[in-house]
Amino acid sequence: MINFKENEELNTLNHSCAHLMAQAVKHLYPNAKFWVGPVVEEGFYYDIDLGDDVIRDEDLDKIEKEMKKCAKDAKKIVRHEITKEEALEMFKDDEYKIDLISRMDDHEQVISCYTQGDFTDLCRGPHVDNTKLCRYFKLLKHSGAYWKGDENNKVLQRIYGVCLPTQEELEAHLADLEEAKLRDHRRLGKELEIFMFSDVVGAGLPMWLPNGFTMRRLLSDYIMYKELAQGYVHVMTPSVVSTKLYKISGHLEHYKDDMFPIMERDGNEFCLRPMNCPEHMMMYKSKLHSYRDLPVRIAEIANDFRFEAGGALTGIERSRAFTQNDSHIFCRPDQIAQEIKNVTQLILDVYGDFGFTQYSFRLSLRDKENTEKYFGNDELWERSEAQLREVLKEMNVPYYEAEGEAAFYGPKIDVQVRSALGHDVTLSTIQLDYQLPERFELEYVDSDGNKVRPVVIHRAILGSIDRFVAFILEETKGNLPLWLAPTQIVVLPVSPEAHKEYAEHVVEELRKNHFRVTLDDRNEKLGYRVREAQTEKIPVELVVGEKEMEEKGVTVRRYGSKEETKMSFDEFLANAIDETNRKAL
């Protein structure tokens, strides 16, 4: 997916196309007034006050036709510079532009606007040379949007669009958008009954249906066994904690805006936790450790809560209640490099198991121009950043650096993926932290008998299990591997009456071997039941009829394939057990 906001050429082109759309809208709706028309990752949009008119789907075609007329004229797009007083006079009848101009700094004496034919709009620019360069466009959708994002303000009409340099590029991009719709985890989650949302329950608070809970359980078991093999111990901590804990950690000071409101009871303050680090610090502190005990690796499948902005909520990719595959490694300074290497290798192993190939490692550094929002001194930060950089280089892991993406207590390695919706999201993370051990006064006894501070490595392999499920659904289009599918096998008797007894025997044997299997013996034609199993994306269909019953066999059909394979039931069972144990893709 293209990021139109970051690509300088496409950014300028799409901003110019937003003006082209506004010009066309003004022709069709002479009383239209315009708020803002920015370029976003997906293209552009414009917020418009149409008075009593409301944009409908069929109106987009009408606007597109007018845009094509405007583009065909190839009007020059001309920049004008005017004073603030002149701007106020020019747009005196437009309350939206007056609002923008009035909020400009008084020292900003020169204001720019752009004119193309009969349309002029306030704008910083830049723009392309003429309107004909914007002729390869598509209006994608429309919605309502509160003016300034404030629900107390008027609802404006927001129209989204996209513009590319050529017709071929536009068609390719539109094809990508259609593919993205098929992969959208929100659509798949609803179709496959993985999760649901309810306004009555609350925005951004997912409810996991039986199929989804099965996936979560399987993923939790999968990663916990991986962690046990590497010496982790698993714990459980409360989701509601005293604010005292977050005052010590600094989260209340640095993270309060992203947390749910504080609750007060009997003179005490409590909060829903946004992460698990402080609780694990207290667990480590509950007893004295020797240098021989380290590293101590504490892991948890933990429920966390963050009050994400309403506009940022995206299904289970970004929600307000989620579950983290979290861990904190308490180690000596001489153990840092090896522990980070171990975690990095674990990430690579997990991604290999799931067949992930499209991801990138990002070294997230602090913003050197805004150091007051971070804990610690320059020396500690430089040392921490250098240590992470050195590990990535030693392991020959390709990475890029991003200033301003560090946690407030330390730098981190983030593994970034691109969602089907075009969002750049973090799946896994490794964070190096010298600060929280200091704030919590953590200690261990070194080889000389002195009490010294450990270093903490925060790490999440699956990251948010919710986001991980979203990414898996999008990567596979819901065609899940046998080991992870909520329903692995459906048994279909050719005749629901004549072959039911044998079908029930097959189901019983599969369940004895821990397969998640259903029997579809409804009084419907076999073809209908086969098609329904395909719609539900069940990995394996077993058809049993007269011949299968006589030979103690099954006819196997895999999701997405029309091929059928006949084999003995024992052979199928052995193959299915092997495929599940290997977690084959």
Taking only the tens place, the pLDDT of each residue in 462-495 is 999 999 999 999 999 999 999 999 999 999 999 9
Cα–Cα distance for residue pair 316/328, rounded to 1 Å: 24
Cα–Cα distance for residue pair 272/262, rounded to 1 Å: 8
Q: Which of 277, 297, 414, 488 is catalytic?
A: 277
pLDDT for the residue numbered 366: 86
Q: Which of 97, 186, 251, 412 is catalytic?
A: 412
pLDDT tens per residue across span 191-207: 999 999 999 999 999 99
458 in active site: yes
pLDDT for the residue numbered 124: 87
Residue 286: other Cβ atoms inside 10 A: 6
pLDDT for the residue numbered 216: 97
pLDDT for the residue numbered 489: 98
pLDDT for the residue numbered 1: 67
Q: Which domains does the chain have, with CATH numbers?
A: 8-182 (3.30.980.10), 216-233+289-475 (3.30.930.10), 489-581 (3.40.50.800)
CA-based end-to-end distance of the chain: 25
Cα–Cα distance for residue pair 23/98, rounded to 1 Å: 19
Specify the length of the chain in residues. Answer: 585
Residue 331: closest CA among 225, 226, 246, 434: 434
Q: Which of 326, 414, 433, 520 is catalytic?
A: 326
Residue 297: closest CA among 309, 283, 312, 317: 283
324 in active site: yes
Q: Which of 458, 467, 499, 557 is catalytic?
A: 458
103 in active site: no
Beta strands in 199-358 (DSSP E): 207-208, 233-234, 240-242, 263-265, 268-272, 296-305, 321-331
Residue 554: closest CA among 534, 536, 537, 574: 574
Counting as low any pLDDT under 50, the low residues of the chain are: none
Q: Which of 324, 335, 435, 488 is catalytic?
A: 324
Residues 6+ apart with CB under 8 A from 528: none
Distance of CA 258 to the CA centre of its chain: 17
Does the pTM of the predicted model rise above 0.85? Answer: no
Q: Which of 306, 318, 362, 366 is catalytic?
A: 306
Residue 298: closest CA among 406, 442, 472: 442
289 in active site: no
With b for 16 or more beta-carbon neighbours within 10 A and e for fewer, the 32-64 pattern comes to bbbbbbebeebbbbbbbbbeeeebeeebbeebe
Residue 132: closest CA among 52, 13, 251: 13
23 in active site: no
